[in-house]
């Protein structure tokens, strides 16, 4: 049986080429041949969906404090590129609308919602619908109560649930696998985001049998990429985009 060809999702864009979660990083990932891009979205103080990873601004901009404490105009005035390289000095914090426009017809988007309110979810869904991007996005969040609202408000968009830890000793793999499927069913989620170390071909087959897709999370070295390919995952995120694309193409040959 031939292995399925997994989609390669660039984590925060092509972060080897440009500062993470910026338009140049997303453009570089598209140009490199990524199947999808993972990005993170927060609400500004005045409710606009903006693209930034951390809850705080300090690491990747010349601003400080919580993203959500700043208006869109204040966030747009920040420098989100100079920390990476002076060539990107003046690069701004992008809006979700800008990223949807850049990606339109070119690449899928995995959008992680960092906000927790239904008002924020509605703003995100409005932007996706306005961009006619319902068929080319996946929504994820670490805030599990929000997952059901994602599914119920826009059932056409697949939703991903994160499972970030290996099985605790008391649980073991069999109970862990059952709970993944049960929790996803309760939340209406359709994509299991799993650490690559707990994925094997049997678990992938079991999730597929339940009508769910499998996402390998943070697959960043050759061993992990090979495991993802051999296990038959549907997609995986990586910060090693060039390596992942080479290995996936090599597996196709």
Q: Which residues are catalytic?
A: 11, 53
> What distances in angstroms separate CA 129 from CA 122, 132, 137, one per listed residue?
10, 5, 11
242 φ, ψ (degrees, to nearest 5): -60, -45
Tokens of 37: 């891009």
Q: In the 8-state DSSP scheme, what is residue 56?
A: B
Name the DSSP letter for residue 238. Answer: E
**DSSP symbol at 175:** H
Distances (CA, A) of 161 to 59, 66, 116: 26, 25, 15
CA distances from 125 to 60, 62, 113, 153, 242 (A): 26, 29, 11, 9, 31
- Structural tokens at position 44: 């500004």
């Amino acid at each position: 049986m031939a292995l399925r060809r997994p989609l390669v999702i660039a984590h925060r864009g092509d972060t080897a080429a440009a500062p993470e979660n910026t338009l140049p990083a997303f453009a570089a990932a598209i140009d490199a041949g990524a199947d999808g891009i993972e990005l993170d979205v927060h609400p500004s103080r005045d409710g606009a969906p903006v693209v930034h990873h951390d809850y705080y601004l300090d690491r990747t901009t010349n601003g400080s404090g919580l993203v959500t404490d700043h208006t869109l105009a204040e966030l747009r005035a920040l420098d989100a590129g100079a920390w990476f390289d002076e060539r990107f000095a003046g690069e701004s914090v992008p809006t979700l609308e800008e990223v949807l426009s850049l990606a339109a017809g070119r690449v899928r988007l995995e959008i992680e919602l960092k906000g927790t309110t239904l008002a924020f979810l509605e703003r995100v869904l409005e932007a996706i619908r306005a961009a006619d991007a319902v068929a080319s996005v996946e929504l994820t969040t670490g805030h599990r109560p929000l997952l059901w609202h994602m599914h119920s408000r826009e059932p056409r968009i697949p939703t991903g649930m994160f499972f970030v830890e290996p099985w605790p000793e008391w649980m073991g793999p069999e109970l862990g696998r059952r709970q993944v499927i049960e929790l996803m069913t309760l939340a209406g989620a359709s994509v299991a985001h799993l650490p690559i170390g707990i994925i094997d071909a049997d678990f992938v087959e079991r999730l597929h049998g339940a009508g769910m897709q499998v996402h390998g999370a943070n697959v960043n070295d050759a061993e992990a990429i090979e495991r993802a390919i051999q296990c038959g995952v549907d997609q995986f995120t990586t910060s090693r985009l060039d390596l992942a694309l080479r290995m996936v193409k090599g597996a196709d040959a």
